[in-house]
Every structure is written in structure tokens, then in C-alpha cells.
Amino acid sequence: MSNPAKRILYLGKTAWGHQHDYALFKQEFDPTQGWFEKQILWVDLGYQGMEKDYQSAQVLIPLKRRKANCESVKELKRALNKRIAQKRIPVEHAIGGMKNYRIITQPIRIKALSLIDKIIETCAGLWNYKLDASSMPTSPPRATD
């Protein structure tokens, strides 16, 4: 999870193999709890069914491309999906920012998931630090005598 400023707010646990994002999400955030009651959630197609399982102010998920009979429905879908994609850009930039650290993008032989989680958490922390450092004002130049 990240915010519009590209800051990484939460990382899920690492999982081996092919597991759906939404199934992993439900393991970490029990749907019976009120996790997102006052939130607007912008998610991708990997989280289909979220609007039924979680109480939230609003869940915005792209519409699947299905055959539509009229052009106005197609245009409405395009406009909604474009708006959702625009909101998700900072999230994708945050993920890409973490990938500046080569250890995340290269194959890794470590089998301990806890160590892999620590590596990813460290890279997320470094990314957040980089964002914070770039937003800090620089001190004015010193006057020389």
C-alpha cells in the first residue's frame, strides 16, 4: 500500500509460488474487521470481489472489457478505467522506486521468507528515506569571508 506521494505505507508478507494477491490480502486483513470503513480504495483487477467482502467508503476497480452493445457504455468504461489508472500511477512508481535496489530485481537463493521480508522492508525504507531526503529544503550557501 502506498499514498499519492509514492510513500510505501504497508508491505504484505512474502509468499512462495503462485498465489492470488487478493487471497494473500484477505489472510492479512480479516474481512470481518473494519479495516477500511472510511477509506476509498483504488485497486487493480487482482482484487475482484473486494467490494463485497470489505466495508469501505468506496472500492474503485477497473471494469473488465466485455462486449458492449452501445458506444456510450464503452466510453464510460474507458473514462472510468483511465481515471483509476491515473490514481494508481504513484503506487506503480513506488514499486518501481523499490526496484532501484538490485537485490529485489535479481534472482535470490535465500529460502528463508523472514530474511526476504527484511530485505524488501529495508528497500522500502530506503525508498521512503530517499523521498523524504529529496523533499527536505537544502540549507542556504554559507557566506565566505
Q: What angle do CA 42, 129, 91 make, to 5 degrees?
A: 15
Lowest mean pLDDT among 5-9, 73-77, 94-98: 73-77
For the chain, the structural domain boundaries read 21-133
31 — pLDDT class (breaks 50, 70, 90): confident
Asked whether 14 and 139 are in contact (CB, 8 A), the reply is: no
The alpha-helical segments, DSSP class H, found in 1-112 are 21-28, 50-53, 71-98, 102-105
Average pLDDT over residues 91-116: 90
Amino acid at the residue 69: N
Q: What is the pLDDT of residue 66?
A: 67
Q: What are the cell numbers at 98? A: 523499490
Partnered with residue 42 across adjacent β-strands are 60
142 — pLDDT class (breaks 50, 70, 90): low
Average pLDDT over residues 121-127: 95
141 — pLDDT class (breaks 50, 70, 90): low
